[in-house]
Structure 1
Amino acid sequence: MRCWSDDRGMIAFMIAAIIAISISVQPVSTANILGVFLSPSPSHLIVHMSIMKTLAERGHNITVVSSLKPKVYHPKIHNIIIEPSEARQKEMNEELSDLGVKRQNPIVMVMKFLRADNVMITLQLDIVKNEKFQQIYNNKYDLVIMGYFMNNFQFIVPAKLNCPMILSWTGQPMEMVNHFVGVPNEVSYVPSVFTPHKNGEIMSFGSRLLNFVSSGLLRLATNIMDISFAAYYKELAADDAALRTYSEMKENVSLIFCNSHFSEGPIRPMVPGMVEIGGIQIKEKATPLPKIIDHFLNASKTNGAILFSLGSNMKSSSMQPETVSIIYKVLSSLEQNVVWKWENLENTPGNASNILYQKWLPQDDILAHPNLKLFITHAGKGGMVEATYHSVPMIAMPIFAEQPANAAKIVSSGFGVQVDILNLKENEFRDAIFEVLHNSIYRNNVYRFSELYRNRPLTARETVNFWVEYVIRHHGAAHMQSPLIHLNFIQSNSLDVLLAILITLYLLWKLLKFSCKLLSKLVRSAKGKQKAGHSKKSKKE
């Protein structure tokens, strides 16, 4: 009888404990989340879709609108693909095709970028106007996550859906996005993305001058483009008075996910609305490789393997034939096997037995392979992060945009060396490969950094889940917003305060000067009267 009583007591205790636990642990409610990723860059889409896949795995209902078929997928994500017209895509390819052919002067390069940017903006705007895109407004969403890249007019989407928005930015915090969440631009000690730097290094006067000018020009360009974005937004709003204005929507970004980590540098002031999720596209466990690549890499155990890829935006056909010939000659003569990203498999540079050509590569999974010894890259942000995460040294071949600065960072950090792809020499390329392969200092440096990069309180995926649910739970999390968002240039730099101080000091100086003159006049007058009094007294005597 006593045993039965004890058992009942234990059962009661367990039931009470289960009830207590179930009450204290609040289940995450399923949210309807929309992803809008209009950039025609495959590498950008990989980052954005990695965020959405994380949320789908969490159990949320995910819908994604994109201009490309995603390489990252999940069975529970509803994909809506609106491809740009052939004419727009051809126009974009033509603008980028010359960049890898020959070195161009800075003015020509800037003009090409402006034309390419204009094509990219128009391409994305066409998708927002597409009839298929309009169908998303028939549904209700708790949150919109938008890929940001010169497409501010897409703020019309959360305006029409009347829900919070998060921006996904594929780079580090910079002038183009800082103002949305109020990150201060500290040009005196925070190098811009276009200013080469070494972590912890104080910029020289020349570097600070360059940083000041480049940062100012970038902010000026951003403000000029903003005029066009405001006009596009107004056009998309169709004078609907019920919608928030473009200016109001710019001040309603809940937070920005940045594909960066503070260990990469530079160290900068941050606000709660700028959340770093560096390496979100890197899998915690590598996906099995396609059989042909897996077999090729597994057969490279003795001498190792090399990955050669110039990214998703630069086509192999855009390179000079002489450059392709040099690259092939050097790579085909190596002991190592080489996986080469090459789009036209029917017209390859050659048929060397140690080279495997592939139109598309699961880059992260290849870099995770233990036999991979070297990554020859264009120094794009995504590939650079993946290589450092997996402790793979690099040879950088930068072409345009932020790639030269990334390449300089690879060299200054000791992660690899740089060669000039637009003026490539056979011996220089061969020497660079032998240097990185046989000098252990590069692999040791990147290994040490990898440990820093991985050491964080939450993984990138855990960070995404927490902050997305935080924004939804708190209906946009307006309490996190920095007051800097609502200040103009004069107010944020205290120019009005400085002017008031200068005016006050000027008035005080004028008052002091007037007082001194008045006092001097009174003293002279008093002395004059005293002298006159003495003169009269002398005459009487």
Structure 2
Amino acid sequence: MAHQGRSFLTGTFACLLLGFFVIQSPAVEGANILGVFTSHSPSHLIIHMSIMKALAEEGHNVTVVSTTQPKVTHKSIKHIVIPLSAAEEKVISDGMTAMAKEKPSMITTMKSLFGSLSMLIYKQVDVLEDKRFTDLYKNKDNKFDAVVVGFFFNFFQVGLGARFNCPLILSWTGAPMVQIDDAVGNPELVATVPSMNVAVLPGHAMDFKQRLANFGSSIFFRLLGFYLDILNVQFYDRLWGKDPSMISYEEAKKNVSLAFCNSHAISEGPIRPNVPAVIEIGGIQIKNKPDPLPQDIKEFLDNAKHGAILFSLGSNLKGDHIQPELIGKIFEALSSLKQNVIWKWDDLKNLPGKSSNILYKKWLPQDDILAHPSIKLFITHAGKGGVAESQYHGKPMLALPVFADQPGNADKLVQAGYGLRIDLFTLEVDEFKGAIKEILKNPSYKTKVQQFSKLYRDRPMSARDSVIYWVNYVLRHHGAGHMQSPLVHMNFIARHNLDVYLLLTTILIVIALISTVVLKFCWRKCCGGKGKSQKTGQKAKVKKN
């Protein structure tokens, strides 16, 4: 009893102490926060808007500029949509169709991005020139305390911090990568930190082949970054080059306060050091408590006697991007299953086919559906957001990757034992059905992903709370420049110690040269004369003879 009494008193004291420090922490009144998300990717926007929703719920005044209507929002968020034209939408659709016909790889993705989809990069400049956006800073009554920028080949937008005279925060939809590392001075560790397209189990070292691939990937992204920086300078000058009040692009690059990354290294890997400005918020879009499902979806799942399957290839890839014969094979396989299937399909007037076990929906509350106990399998394109949601809810996956980071994500989930991967472009009915049945019948996939779910959920602070705390921290400390890595202010030569290595090499060369001269001198003094006299004597004898 005495022990219980002491425990109670200790716990009470700890709570009071915690409460004291919370009370002593400087409060942040409702700040004006601007979100600029111009990548025109619905899946990216879900991550970015989840950040802004958390800030709106905290009581901040949030304004968001994007090119599409968000699926995630909040009643108090002021939203400004600057949409693409019909012609621009067609260019994107044609680009997606082209990618859906090629074997997925980083090279094909980049080829499309800088070919038919290059408009996605240039359009982001147009958005910032639109009157609906420029009015935000030309109207002197507007004042923003922080700007959150969605990163996607648009580093010129770091100028928005200077434009609105406030701290700038980046939001990135994956784990830290080269451009994010550079923005906040995060160390790049090519030998130990695999890139998104190199699959390595958490805690495992890369073998030689993987390190070689990782080195090649690093060089590729460095060259890509060099090319993009040329564009970024042009875009920056186009937007603000004639404004004497604006700082240079090089100076603007050094003013990033935070980078929110949609990752959780402790569970997902890779284990690596991060500077304080890298804040991991993996799963920010996942709700602590699922919202009620639409009635038709709820009934469909509740009545699934043999369980249910969710099938979605994401928000960027639509049904008409995929060859009709391939769609026919997918329908044939899914319609023959005893499980109910929810299929994300955009054109509800032109369905792949009709089957009593298939429910087609144009838009799905994916996170809420995956939380339903009837879901036994998620057939996915292996986008980062969907994979994270499936892992959080402990649902095994069958991956059909198409482009970007999807092949790498698919390889990682297969390697971890969370599911299987098949090639969408060579898919056959029997192969597809066989993979589905293997995952449903073999409990190891479910067991492993549920074990991961426990790790993914086990955090000292939720993703939502991390967003709120660190944005408030930056607001309290006026950009929090004190925690910025010195690497941000160092050039390539300094950050890699090349000048130090050059100096040491020069010193060693000078020492070697001096040593050589001294040794030669000593040799001549000690042995040179004797040798010379012997040779002279020998010559004299020869002459006598």
Same fold (TM over 0.5): yes
Aligned to 1:415: 418
Aligned to 1:458: 461
SS at match of 1:132: helix
Q: How does 1:64-75 map to 2 (within 5 A)?
A: 64-75=64-75
Aligned to 2:7: none
Cα shift at 1:524: 4.2
Cα shift at 1:528: 9.0
Aligned to 1:3: none
Aligned to 1:498: 501
Aligned residues: 513
Shift in alpha-carbon separation, 1:199–1:23, aligned structure 2, 3 A? closer
Cα shift at 1:116: 4.4
- What does the per-residue CA deviation read over 1:225-279, in whole Å, with 9 as the maximum and x for residues that have no partner? 1111111101100421221111111111001000000110111221101110000
AA aligned to 2:280 is: E
Range with greater deviation from structure 2 (455-464 or 77-86): 77-86
Aligned to 1:220: 223
SS at match of 2:417: coil
SS at match of 2:372: coil
Aligned to 2:95: 95
Shift in alpha-carbon separation, 1:450–1:529, aligned structure 2, 3 A? closer
Q: Give the conservation status (yes or no) of the 8 Å contact 2:259–2:277.
A: yes
Moved >6 Å (runs of 4+): 20-23, 104-107, 525-531
Shift in alpha-carbon separation, 1:292–1:46, aligned structure 2, 3 A? same
For 1:253 and 1:117, how far apart are their aligned partners in 2? 28
Cα shift at 1:358: 0.5
Query: 1:274 and 2:259 equivalent?
Result: no
Cα shift at 1:25: 5.9
Range with greater deviation from structure 2 (473-482 or 95-104): 95-104
AA aligned to 1:495 is: L
Shift in alpha-carbon separation, 1:72–1:519, aligned structure 2, 3 A? same
For 1:104 and 1:60, how far apart are their aligned partners in 2? 41
Q: Give the conservation status (yes or no) of the 8 Å contact 1:155–1:233.
A: no
Q: How does 1:202-217 map to 2 (within 5 A)?
A: 202-217=205-220
Percent of paired sites with the same residue:
49
Q: Give the conservation status (yes or no) of the 8 Å contact 1:156–1:236.
A: no
Q: Give the conservation status (yes or no) of the 8 Å contact 1:84–1:127.
A: no
Q: Give the conservation status (yes or no) of the 8 Å contact 2:348–2:361.
A: yes
Residue 184 of structure 1 is aligned with which of 184, 187, 190?
187
- Structure 1: runs of 5 or more not aligned: 1-16, 532-541
Q: How does 1:16-415 map to 2 (within 5 A)?
A: 24=24, 26-103=26-103, 110-137=110-137, 138=139, 139-262=142-265, 263-300=267-304, 302-415=305-418
Q: Give the conservation status (yes or no) of the 8 Å contact 1:64–1:78.
A: yes
Cα shift at 1:200: 2.4
Output the aligned Cα RMSD: 2.1
Q: Give the conservation status (yes or no) of the 8 Å contact 2:198–2:210.
A: yes
- Structure 2: runs of 5 or more not aligned: 1-16, 535-545
Residue 488 of structure 2 is aligned with which of 485, 488, 496?
485
Shift in alpha-carbon separation, 1:368–1:105, aligned structure 2, 3 A? closer
Shift in alpha-carbon separation, 1:483–1:472, aligned structure 2, 3 A? same
Shift in alpha-carbon separation, 1:492–1:116, aligned structure 2, 3 A? farther
Q: Give the conservation status (yes or no) of the 8 Å contact 2:106–2:404.
A: no
- What does the per-residue CA deviation read over 1:119-175, in whole Å, with 9 as the maximum and x for residues that have no partner? 101121111111111111021111001111011222232221111100000011111
AA aligned to 2:448 is: N
Cα shift at 1:527: 6.2
- What does the per-residue CA deviation read over 1:54-103, in whole Å, with 9 as the maximum and x for residues that have no partner? 01111111111111111111111111111122222211111111222343
For 1:48 and 1:102, how far apart are their aligned partners in 2? 29
Cα shift at 1:21: 9.6
Q: How does 1:4-15 map to 2 (within 5 A)?
A: none
For 1:214 and 1:80, how far apart are their aligned partners in 2? 37
SS at match of 2:198: coil
Shift in alpha-carbon separation, 1:25–1:185, aligned structure 2, 3 A? closer
